[in-house]
Amino acid sequence: MNVGFIGLGAMGSPMARNLARAGHRVAAWNRTRARAEELKSDGVRIAETPEEACQGDAVFSMLADDTAVADLFLGSRQLIGALGLQTIHISSSTISTDLSHRLTEAHQAAGREFVSAPVFGRPSAAEAAELVIAVAGPPSAIARCQPLLDVVGRKTVVVGEHPPAANVFKLAGNFLIGSTLETLGEAFTLLRKSGVDPRVFYETMTSTLFAAPVYKGYGALILEEKYQPAGFKVPLGLKDVRLILAAAEAVSAPMPVANIVHDHLLTAKARGWEDHDWSSVARVVAENAGL
């Protein structure tokens, strides 16, 4: 398939690379051209403009936040109008449900197809094509995109026919991850202050009751206090939790734990840990306890 790719950050680059390695013809654009240059050896063609990447069978967008997505597709570049008549826009960014609604309406008004497909997984999972993808949109469009989604992820979950459903699904999942970071930090802090080895606790819990990748992976980072290099930096975590709280407020769903995670991420930012992994909320918990 002919595929465009817009946004070559820590997640977008490996996704575009995997598409090219699978034999798809990929044209990629990034604000910083050097990121696109790095993919040439993998068979990725550099698109000179984002409009050029919006042709073909589909175009992925994997951008940092609402501002970046809205600017390109609704603002200064108006990329929705640059989409080919048969080109499906696959949005894999973690964005607000409000923006997803606006994008859905704008694509419909322009007669273009929009599929929301945010992903779960850190950069290492993107490299290994082990992402879990939540997708929502017109069934026919999802079916046409499926061969591409199968290349970048190990599992695709169809959430519904209305694109914003995938975005709230993604935000709910990120809430579970963020709350896990908080509870791991609190548990390890309790153990350390009580003179109990948290390593034994970690090994026991992650091999029995909590034998899940999030507990194993993030638990190891927190246990070793290895917050750099960051797989997902504090400002990005803070951005996501703000989106979670906004989505919750829109439907009058109180989320007190999300507020705690928000405040601890904000504390991490205030302490100058912007380049740290968002699991450093556990460091905030530990320092608050005098460790």
Q: What is the dihedral of CA 63, 52, 33, 31, to 10 degrees?
A: -40
Q: Write the pLDDT tens digit of every residue in 74-89.
A: 988 899 999 999 999 9
pLDDT in the model for residue 232: 93
Taking residues 169-193, what's their average pLDDT? 98
**74 and 36 fall within a common domain:** yes
Domain boundary among 129, 144, 161: 161
**152 and 182 fall within a common domain:** no
At position 264, the amino acid (one-letter code) is: H
**135 and 225 fall within a common domain:** no
**77 and 185 fall within a common domain:** no
% of residues, the chain, pLDDT over 90: 97
Q: Which two tokens stand for residue 206?
A: 């992650």
pLDDT in the model for residue 76: 80
Q: Write the pLDDT tens digit of every residue in 194-249.
A: 999 999 999 999 999 999 999 999 999 999 999 999 999 999 999 999 999 999 99
Catalytic residues: 170
C-alpha dihedral sign at 209, 172, 115, 121:
negative
**115 and 197 fall within a common domain:** no
Say if residue 277's pLDDT is above 90.
Answer: yes
Residue-wise DSSP of 107-144: HHHHT-EEEE--EE--HHHHHTT-EEEEEES-HHHHHH
**155 and 197 fall within a common domain:** no
Q: How far apart are CA 219 and CA 188, in angstroms?
A: 9
**137 and 204 fall within a common domain:** no
**219 and 245 fall within a common domain:** yes
Nearest to 91, CA basis, from 205, 22, 7: 7
Say if residue 70's pLDDT is above 90.
Answer: yes
Q: How far apart are CA 31 and CA 6, in angstroms?
A: 9
DSSP designation for 44: P
Q: Which two tokens stand for residue 76?
A: 């200064």
The mean of the pLDDT values for the chain is 97
Domain of 222: which CATH number? Answer: 1.10.1040.10
**128 and 262 fall within a common domain:** no
Domain that holds residue 44: 2-161
Q: Are 132 and 174 in contact (CB under 8 A)?
A: no
In this prediction, residue 266 has a pLDDT band, given cuts at 50, 70 and 90, of: very high
Domain of 85: which CATH number? Answer: 3.40.50.720
Q: Which two tokens stand for residue 152?
A: 């970048």
**12 and 129 fall within a common domain:** yes
Domain count, the chain: 2
pLDDT in the model for residue 275: 97
